[in-house]
Amino acid sequence: MVAVAVLGIGVLAANAQTSAPPACGGKVTGLGDPCGDNTGNSVDVVGTPSPTLNQENFQTVTDAVGKTKIGLNFTWTLVTGFLVMFMQAGFALVETGFCRRKNSAHVLMTNFMIYGIGIIGFFLVGYALMFGGVGHIANLGGTAPLNHEVAVGGWGIFGAKGFGMNGIYDVGVMSHFLFNLVFMDTTATIVTGAMAERWKFSAFVVYGFFVSMIIYPMFGNWAWGGGFLAQLGSKSSLGHGYVDFAGSGVVHAVGGMLALAGAAVIGPRIGKYNKDGTSNVLPAYNLPLAILGTFILAFGWFGFNPGSTLAATDLRISVVA
């Protein structure tokens, strides 16, 4: 047995000395490609090694490069959209953690249902109003089916193409829809925190459809969909016009103003103030839940801001992140 082991070690050593792969950067023949230097080249595009460059090959190569670029942008946009969607869990935990125990189920249900209500409203009406006239989506390719903007005196007011996603079956549009859907749901969820323990579920449902179908899409069109705020630069020579990179106005300001209006109308939670004006402490139900939700929100923001480039090929995503 010892002799066999020694013989085996000797064979392995000899093989390592005579057939060791060359250093990275060298041509690998018959030994695989351990460094990856020869994996992913013209052969993968045109199918033959060292092809003669002609118009057909050039078109094939450029088409492959274009699809790779757009494919990377699709992947980036979808993955960051998934991160933003995960923020719904963060909102639910934060709001439930800071409310009172007796209302925790109601708060959780509003956070759960706003996602579904928002999807229905944005799918049927909201996306068309917001982006129905946006035209070509630069970083996502496609054929620009979103081409009808209702305007007054040349100033865009709302989109009018794509209700129920009809007539806009395009791969770029579908990626764009998902990313903007989760932005809309973030806006709508801001209000569920401000109104926690204050409103009836029926009123919440009406609000959910209203904000996803009308309020958010209308302002979103003015800022992002080619509406009049975005036109201030080109039509009124006001620099770049209204610029909102990742939703400071469209998402957070709109959600904040809706939350402020709702809280002002309904007033404080029952039991917060006494008749003499003094206030009572309303202890949080579960602080660990609230802290966990905060970290989930912070994690989701790595999708919210860098994802707004809609492009993994825009290297400034590292700066935005």
Pair of tokens at residue 305:
């801001």
Q: Could you give the CA distance from residue 241 to residue 228 in angstroms, rounded to a whole number?
A: 9
Contact 195/262 with Cβ under 8 angstroms? yes
pLDDT of 31 above 60: no
Q: What letter would DSSP give residue 119?
A: H
Contact 80/179 with Cβ under 8 angstroms? yes
Q: Could you give the CA distance from residue 203 to residue 211 in angstroms, rounded to a whole number?
A: 12
Radius of gyration of the chain (CA): 28
pLDDT of 284 above 90: no
Closest CA to 282 of 107, 110, 101: 101
Task: Supply the mean pLDDT for the chain.
Answer: 87
Higher pLDDT, 259 or 236: 259
Arithmetic mean of pLDDT, 41-57: 65
Closest CA to 182 of 307, 314, 24: 307
Q: Which residues contact 36 (CB under 8 A, 6 or more apart)?
A: none
Q: Could you give the CA distance from residue 245 to residue 152 in angstroms, rounded to a whole number?
A: 26
What percentage of the chain has pLDDT greater than the value 90?
62
Q: Could you give the CA distance from residue 46 to residue 57 in angstroms, rounded to a whole number?
A: 7
Pair of tokens at residue 194:
């401000």
Arithmetic mean of pLDDT, 173-190: 97
Q: What is the pLDDT of residues 255-277, one digit of tens each?
A: 999 999 999 999 988 888 888 88
Q: Could you give the CA distance from residue 168 to residue 173 in angstroms, rounded to a whole number?
A: 7
Lowest mean pLDDT among 79-93, 105-119, 225-239, 253-267: 225-239
Lowest mean pLDDT among 50-59, 119-128, 158-167: 50-59
Arithmetic mean of pLDDT, 197-205: 93
CATH number (3.30.390.50, 1.10.3430.10, 3.40.50.300, 1.20.1250.20) of 67-320 reads 1.10.3430.10
Contact 228/155 with Cβ under 8 angstroms? yes
pLDDT of 75 above 80: yes
Give the model's pLDDT for residue 27: 58
pLDDT category at 77 given cuts 50, 70, 90 is very high
pLDDT category at 64 given cuts 50, 70, 90 is confident
Contact 56/255 with Cβ under 8 angstroms? no
Give the model's pLDDT for residue 278: 87
Domain ranges of the chain: 67-320
Higher pLDDT, 320 or 143: 320
CB atoms within 10 A of CB 93: 23
pTM over cut 0.85: no
